[in-house]
Chain A
């Protein structure tokens, strides 16, 4: 695993820069805005730290820049590198082609479920258990996909890599923020 403290360093640095940039825009913010700002800046900080190498970071940036009201803020936070990043993010054509994929997968699933119902009566126990286990795994993968940003558009292998990365990032974020609050 990569050196965690270096990641923390990087994250803290970027977060601080981002927060400073945010707060320079607006001097007085109410609580909700602050919350949003903190979260957004932290997310973008880490995502920019990955420099678009990982999919979840790209998805994060894409989500952040999608809404118009956040967009300006996000671009301010990201700073001068924002255009490069945003370009890279927008060139990932994962949105459109994956809708078709998702639709076709759903159709497949529906057809498969009907096939399975027919099969279940004639199938021996072992295979049935196998089916059930695989169903469980699929459900869980689906949940995981919804958790990891940008996860719905990935296949399973990339999903696992992204999860690894994402967990590391979340840990770093939690550690840094915890030490911020407890001082």
Chain B
């Protein structure tokens, strides 16, 4: 690939120079780890999605809030119904959702729910255990609730009371949830919700306000965000609209095709590698190879025992040292010959031939392959 490979190979093969090779490999690993632990773009895209539709965002916060605050069914049964499904994506919820304007949204929600609070109090008194228990839970999460414990209490008791009164409908809704007839049940529930006094003012017609469907919607948006990312990744997918359901199906189709074709390619290639003449060689070259000029060769043997490798200084790779690294993955007919070769080692980067990159620096010499 690049001189990095040469160094890698060297690091594999050379015993005594552990420090330098260790350093290099450490650097690689560090970089790679850093890359791996970069928080996924999903998070950022999702927050963008959040900020755009503010009303929905607030309701989402509502639901996420209530979900986070009511993770454990303190009062047993009434909350039990919701939490089964929520638990499965609660952790992902907590991990991925970042609410930068948490307090602002909570305050806004508080303002809106103040209307309902007047009518709220009789209801909340009827559910004292729930709300108190939830309050405790609320207070235990200072990040979300420090600004407005009252509003959070209201927010929490909203879905709690809603849920209690709509348990039967909820069960029906849950059954139908996965099957796509949620619209009808949502309409029912929204109508019921609008009759009740503590319905959130922001409830849209035809969309339920209970935390269950809100969480469902949040989940759908997450999935759509990821679908967008996948769309960009998979070639030939950019034309379909990901937000519609039919678009999602098409995107999924493309994704499946892509994964299947990639898997088949891998099988084919591995078969080829296995069947090809055992002494398949290719040389890994340092990327100062343009000066060397002998890029045409590609021989790739591997030597199993590291003792065969002479000690080559680590920096030698960066210059015009040429090392041949024998990689005989498949067969071992030529042990003796490989042992003779250890003094003469050349490494050429055959992948460099395949690609187009030819820069001279060590780390910037990455493969410029378009994925």
Could you tell me which A residues sit within 8 Å of B by CB distance? 1-10, 12-13, 16-17, 19-20, 23-24, 27-29, 31, 34-35, 37-39, 42, 49-51, 53, 108-109, 111-113, 115-116, 119, 123, 126-127, 130-138, 140-141, 143-144, 147-148, 155-158, 160-161, 163-164, 166-168, 170-171, 173-183
Contacts and interface: CB of A to CB of B under 8 A. Distances in A.
Given A31-B275, A112-B175, A161-B226, A12 B369 contact: no
Contacts of B350: 179, 183
A22 to B, nearest CB: 8
A39 B179 contact: no
B80 to A, nearest CB: 15
Nearest to A155: B88
Contact of B302 (A20, A50, A148): A20
Contacts of A3: 35, 366
B36 interface: yes
Interface string B271-294: 111111000111000000000000
A23 B330 contact: yes
B259 A170 contact: yes
B35 A28 contact: no
20 contacts: A1-B371, A4-B367, A6-B366, A16-B327, A19-B302, A23-B328, A29-B330, A39-B267, A39-B270, A112-B175, A113-B179, A134-B245, A147-B260, A157-B223, A167-B230, A170-B266, A180-B282, A181-B272, A181-B273, A183-B281
Interface of B: 1-2, 4-5, 8-9, 12, 28, 31-32, 35-36, 38, 40, 42, 88-89, 92, 96, 175-176, 178-181, 183-184, 219, 222-223, 226-227, 229-230, 233-234, 245-246, 248-249, 252-253, 255-256, 258-260, 262-263, 265-267, 269-276, 280-282, 298-300, 302, 304-305, 327-332, 350-351, 353-355, 366-369, 371
A150 to B, nearest CB: 14
A140 B256 contact: yes
Given A6-B31, A155-B89, A13 B12 contact: yes
A109 B253 CA distance: 22
A13 B8 contact: yes
Nearest to B369: A175
Given A141-B252, A170-B262, A182 B354 contact: yes
B262 A167 contact: yes
Contacts of B252: 137, 140-141, 144
Contact of A127 (B1, B40, B183): B183
A4 B234 CA distance: 15
Given A9-B8, A156-B219, A16 B302 contact: yes
A12 B271 CA distance: 18
A174 B233 contact: no
A32 to B, nearest CB: 8
Contacts of A37: 274, 329
Contacts of B355: 179
B92 A157 contact: yes
Given A34-B330, A37-B274, 9 more contacts: A10-B28, A39-B267, A131-B181, A140-B256, A157-B89, A168-B233, A175-B367, A183-B280, A183-B351
A1 B42 CA distance: 11
A133 B249 contact: yes
Nearest to A126: B183
Nearest to A38: B270
A49 to B, nearest CB: 8
B329 A38 contact: yes
Contacts of B369: 4-5, 175
A8 B367 contact: yes
B178 A109 contact: yes
B2 A5 contact: yes
A20 B328 CA distance: 8
A144 B273 contact: no
Nearest to B179: A112
Could you say which of A17, A132, A161 has the most chain B C-beta atoms within 10 Å of its C-beta? A161
Nearest to A140: B252
A108 B175 contact: yes
A179 B341 CA distance: 24
B366 A5 contact: yes
A5 B367 contact: yes
B36 A171 contact: no
A9 B273 contact: no
